[in-house]
């Protein structure tokens, strides 16, 4: 009689990835508006907001923040809604970390 043994391994649940909210540069959105967005929705200090805004301005993209999906999605919509309300073409994207 043979005895079968199995090795029990604890199933590893993949942890959901966080998402980067990526700020994209454009030629029309005022720098002050980008700073306002970073401070209001991403809770950045003046210095942090300046750094993030300038990086997007100079390099084309910059990370506004990294959050669990639903939070990232909320911020994405908040930014687009505010930009639309003020008539600015500011764009952001979501990227898995
Ligand atoms: N490039 C814009 C300007 O010169 C400022 C800007 C910075 C816009 C960062 C978008 O994500 C951005 N007014």
Distance CA 35, CA 39 (A): 6
Range of the domain at 92: 18-96
Distance CA 41, CA 21 (A): 11
Question: What's 54's domain CATH number?
Answer: 3.30.1390.10
Ligand 1 pocket check for 78: Cβ under 6 Å? no
Q: Which atom of ligand 1 is nearest to the CA of 91?
A: 11
Ligand 1 pocket check for 39: Cβ under 6 Å? no
Whether 11 maps to a domain, the answer reads: no
What is the SS3 assignment for 76? helix
DSSP string, 6-70: ----PPPPPPPPEEEEEEE--SSS-HHHHHHHHHHHH---HHHHHHHHHHHHHHSEEEEEEEEHH
Residue 84: band (very low, low, confident or very high) from pLDDT cuts 50, 70, 90: very high
Whether 13 maps to a domain, the answer reads: no
Summarised one tens digit per residue, pLDDT across range 39-54 is 999 999 999 999 999 9
Whether 45 maps to a domain, the answer reads: yes
Question: How many folded domains does the chain comprise?
Answer: 1
Ligand 1 pocket check for 30: Cβ under 6 Å? yes
Whether 40 maps to a domain, the answer reads: yes
Residue nearest to atom 10 of ligand 1 (CA): 25
Whether 34 maps to a domain, the answer reads: yes
Whether 9 maps to a domain, the answer reads: no
């Amino acid at each position: 009689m043979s005895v079968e043994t199995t090795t029990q391994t604890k199933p590893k649940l993949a942890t959901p990835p966080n998402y980067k909210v990526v700020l994209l540069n454009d030629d029309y959105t005022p720098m002050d508006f980008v700073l306002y967005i970073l401070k209001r929705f991403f809770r950045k200090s003046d210095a942090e907001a300046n750094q993030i805004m300038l990086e997007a301005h100079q390099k084309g993209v910059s990370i506004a923040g990294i959050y669990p999906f639903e939070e990232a999605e909320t911020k994405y919509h908040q930014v687009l809604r505010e930009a639309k309300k003020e008539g600015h073409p500011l764009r952001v994207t979501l990227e898995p970390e």
